[in-house]
Amino acid sequence: MGKKLLMKGNEALAEAAIRAGVKGYFGYPITPQSELLEYMATNLDSRGGVFLQAESEVAAINMVYGASGTGTRVMTSTSSPGFSLMQEGISYMACAELPCLLVNVVRGGPGLGTIQPSQGDYFQAVKGGGHGDYKLIVLAPNSVQEMADLVYLGFDLTDKYRNPVLILADGALGQMMESVEFPEYNVEEHFVDHSSWTTVGRENGREQHYITSLHLLSEKMEEINVHLQDKYKKIQENETRFESIQTEDADILIVAFGLSSRSSQKALELAREQGLKVGILRPITLFPFPSDELKHLANSVKGILVVEMNAGQMVEDVRLAVGSNVPVDFYGRMGGMIPQPDEIVDKIKDLYKQVKI
Amino acid sequence: METTREGIVCNNLDQMDVVFDRTEVLHDTPTSYCPGCSHSVVHRLIMEVIEELGILGDTIGVAPVGCSVFAYHFMNVDMQQAAHGRATAVATGIKRVLPDKIVYTYQGDGDLAAIGTAETIHTINRGENIVMIFINNGIYGMTGGQMAPTTLEGDVTSTTPHGRDTLIQGHAIKITEMAAIMDGAYYVTRQAVNSAKTVRKCKKAIKQAFQNQIDGKIGTNFVEVVSNCPSGWKMTPIEANKKIDEQVLDYYPLGDLKTPPKGA
Amino acid sequence: MNEELIIAGFGGQGVLSMGMTLAYAGMVEDKQITWFPSYGPEMRGGTANCTVIVSDTIVSSPIISTYDTAIVLNQPSLEKFESKVKPGGTLIYESNTVLNPPTRKDITVYAIPAAIEAGKIGNAKTMNMIILGAFLSKKPLVSVKSIMEALSKVLPERNHHLLPINEKALKLGMSLIK
């Protein structure tokens, strides 16, 4: 580990990406992620990469597509409305199996919404987002340190699976400062050879490579879909990541990701002070979702409270995982509001009454 | 008696001189284009240029959405298929990370001058060092003959059944003229392929565009090819090529719109 | 030790940089810290605030609804945050700008005429350091040395000639609360 630095989440993410060997960044300004773009503009060119401000998010994602097709480590970042604009391009990349790192520093919607933090893009992130059957690998940091750490993981996973990886952050994680240490990361050791499929010119007359997501024959298109689904299954089996906090003796399990997991952690401390046995399961990968761990915990806890900064999105995946084995309650704030720890504690107490512990 | 690759039966083939052959940079496959369509001609010209310039090992093409969506099945070069309108953004991504490679896009009028207008303008405005080949046939061929941004006033299409009315559908867009006024453009020209003479000139222009990129000239090389669409226009190829001479070139006159200053 | 602090005032009063300096100094002393700013259009000439948490243990939530200390540099901020100070907590306000003082009796209130004092030492922009000094004299979370090390990081190189006057302001602030 290097020395500690005080950085905004957006800056830490950008710095980590440069250290992870990103060679192309294409983006468009939007609050609350613009520091990321600006950090790249200031630093990437002098450290061996290419920065370009695109004319739109639509152009940016397609620049990423082009650069990725050459086997270059490449990324973009945006915030919610911009992420919606990128969906078409992301769907194409998912089908053409192009690696890239995407970052959505989520703000409150729908519409132009607010620039304040939100988790309202959960469905869009984990259920595909654009047209067709596809999935992104979705990583959800909950601190400035993880804004950096998950970048390295993200690049490794996108190269390993040839699947776009999304870091789903939010406005608060992007804007807040915490101390961060950048781990040692040897880019060459993590290098993945993509030369069997990249489009860089038919050097020495080798056979043609082309990148496409168009397969008009249904039989062929189904074959590609089956291949993608097999890949997602493999990812589900091998790449699920989560953090458990005091779940061993918990009566009530909070499930929360990203910033709301931080509020929940404070709520856990307050609740434990009052003798309430609360634990937290924090998914770090939203796809793949830690369904098996949830199923397992549903055997020991008496109630589950899902805390989100939206109207209730991840709660659907929690209910899918645990079925009717245990009551699942939800607490959410919307439109840029953040669930406060004391509000969560009140909700925990309600749930305690409900499950009659 | 022998049979050639094209299946023509000849006598004493080994005693004959080969005066014309398909460039190896074209796949040995029939194209999916309609008889008489300009696409096939322009494909061949670009591939010949790539072969003649010896840049096959360094060239990456970008195919659009439109009739030429399968360009990579005919052009035997490394290619990426782009989303509708985004070919130049994709090309920008490629060229920016591999500045020493040769990158071109191949786009129709719907792709380049309607849905992709923003990308077109900004790519040229940035002066991306790429070649843009713009096939202007005044109609949406692939989707079955709807109005294109370049459909001439009065022309009947499936979405202008009474002819294009400029008060309702606006004017045929002159995007090549727009390209020419931008500082980022290095070479802007309008060509056609409706006669042997125009085909020869067009090839020269395409070659110049690629040569400029090879030479590292700063700026975008933009070649419009006024093309036909016999099926979409509901004409025979001969009638379609005649229409180009009699009507289309009045509105879209041929020639260079921007050439590098002498000595550049 | 776990101090949860809100600093609020007009944009341009040095609210965010005061918080950042404190956070940086906390990091210098190997404490766990979080700095969370208000952001966006509201900052353009409007009110700005930041939450700073300095702790010996891991900082759980950067988002909190009540504070151990509120430092307020204008009237709207006082009105917004006076009620959010925990009972027994501390409220420090700039007494030249805030004309209607706080009324709560269950918290400790300090009025610091920092704007006038900053004028006296010849640099109005050191007002935030005077306030920070006053705060640190009551809650010595970090040392003056760490603050100065932090300032040398937070201030751009071209402003390093201002380090001495900032140190002077900091120490002046510490002397204002007896």
Is the CB of residue A115 less than 8 Å away from at least one CB of chain C?
A: yes
A116/C34 CB distance under 8 A: no
Quick check: C102 and C75 in contact, CB under 8 A? no
Min CA distance, A256 vs chain C (Å)? Answer: 13
Shortest CA gap B159–chain A (Å): 25
Chain segment A132-177, per-residue pLDDT in tens? 999 999 999 999 999 999 999 999 999 999 999 999 999 999 999 9
Do A99 and A68 form a contact (C-beta atoms < 8 A)? Answer: yes
C-beta atoms of C64 and A341 within 8 A: yes
Chain A residues lying within 8 Å of B56, measured CB to CB:
201-202, 205
Token reading at A274: 């009052």
Out of 3.40.640.10, 1.10.10.60, 3.40.50.300, 3.40.50.920, the CATH code matching A243-355 is 3.40.50.920
Q: Which of A1, A31, A177 should one mutate to test binding to chain C, selecting the residue with the greatest count of C CBs within 10 A?
A: A177
Cβ neighbours for B223, distance < 8 A, ≥ 6 positions apart: B131, B132, B133, B134, B189, B191, B202, B205, B206, B209
Q: Report the pLDDT value the prediction gives residue B15, as an integer from 0 to 100.
A: 75
Sequence-distant (6+) residues with CB within 8 A of A275 are none
Fill in the DSSP letter of residue A190. G
Residue type at position A33: Q
User: Chains contacting C with at least 3 CB pairs below 8 Å?
Assistant: A
Residues of A in contact with B78 (CB under 8 A): 199-202, 208-210
8 Å CB contact of C33 and A179: yes
Partner A contacted by C135 (CB < 8 A): no
pLDDT given at position C47: 81
Mean per-residue pLDDT for A278-302? Answer: 97
Q: What is the pLDDT of residue B220?
A: 98
Q: Is the pLDDT of residue C75 over 80?
A: yes
* A96-100, B14-18, C97-101: which is most confident: A96-100
Percent of chain C with pLDDT over 70: 96
Residues in A touching B77 (Cβ below 8 Å): 201-202, 208
Residues of chain A with CATH 3.40.50.970: 5-198+228-236
Taking the CA of residue A195 and the nearest CA in chain C, the distance in Å comes to 43
Contact state of B90 with A63 under an 8 Å Cβ cutoff: yes
Is A195 part of the contact surface with chain B (CB cutoff 8 Å)? no
Chains that contact B by 3+ CB pairs under 8 Å?
A: A
pLDDT of residue C41: 58
Angle at which helices A80-96 and A57-68 cross, to 10°: 30
C161: exposed, middle or buried (Cβ count in 10 Å: 0-12, 13-18, 19+): exposed
What is the domain class of B33-258 according to CATH? alpha beta
Q: Identify the CATH number of the domain defined by range A5-198+228-236.
A: 3.40.50.970
Task: Report how far residue A133's alpha carbon sits from residue A94's, in angstroms, rounded to the nearest whole number.
Answer: 9
- The answer on pLDDT for B13 being more than 80 is no
pLDDT of residue C12: 85
Looking at residue B214, its pLDDT comes to 98
Closest by CA position to B89, among listed A24, A62, A82:
A62
Domains and CATH numbers, chain C: 2-176 (3.40.920.10)
Q: A131 at the B interface (CB within 8 A)?
A: no
- How long, in residues, is chain B? 264
Specify the pLDDT at position B9: 62
Residue C78 has pLDDT above 90, yes or no: yes
Please name the member of A31, A269, A340 whose beta carbon is closest to the beta carbon of C40: A31
Q: Domain-by-domain residue ranges, chain B?
A: 33-258
Gyration radius from chain B CA atoms: 18
